[in-house]
Amino acid sequence: MHIPTPEEIKARRELLGMKQAELAERAGISQSMVARIESGSVDPRASTLAKIVHVLNIMARPRTTAARVMHTPVISVGVEDTITHAVDIMEKYNISQVPVLENGVPVGCISESAIVAAIEEQGGHRTQGEQVKHYMESGFPTVPHDMDIETVIRILQHHHAVLVMEEGRVRGVITKHDLIPLIMDR
């Protein structure tokens, strides 16, 4: 195992564009400790050095963004589409909900539960001509294409999917299922 010198720690931190304060905060140590380690005036504990090296290694990884994880095309329906069409889409792709888009902009979502409610309202008969716009629910959260994946993960803890936006239009979708390979790589 290579133990970095104070000069190597400082050079790596500067190469990553980090301030001493940022390194200290991320490593859970004081900024003055980072300064003293970099100057060589203190011989840090192995655990402290391990925290610093861990942070520097994480910061050196390429940043994973929503655009790198999203999948396309986004399976969706329009506000004028019928409930029957929405059901057909869900059955075809084996999904339980789809975003509702209007000119590439999300305006809501339609789910199995909304469709069941529509069928129930029609007395148990499958609705034929009813439009999605009458039964759609609030839509999925949206994120910009360059959003860091850690933020997307936090959002997905409370939602089934996230729509990825670029230039005001939906460009992709990220579901919890899409995160499994990321978690397994860690």
Same fold, 6-60 and 66-185: no
pLDDT at 64: 83
Where does the pLDDT of residue 178 fall: very low under 50, low under 70, confident under 90, or very high at 90 and above?
Answer: confident
Fold of the 6-60 domain: 434 Repressor (Amino-terminal Domain) (1.10.260)
Average pLDDT for 120-127: 66
pTM for the whole structure: 0.63
pLDDT at 27: 94
CATH superfamily of 66-185: CBS-domain (3.10.580.10)
Nearest to 99 by CA among 70, 124, 119, 127: 70
User: Would you kindly state where each structural domain of the chain is located, as residue ranges?
Assistant: 6-60, 66-185
Q: Give per-residue pLDDT as tens, 147-170.
A: 988 899 999 999 989 999 999 899
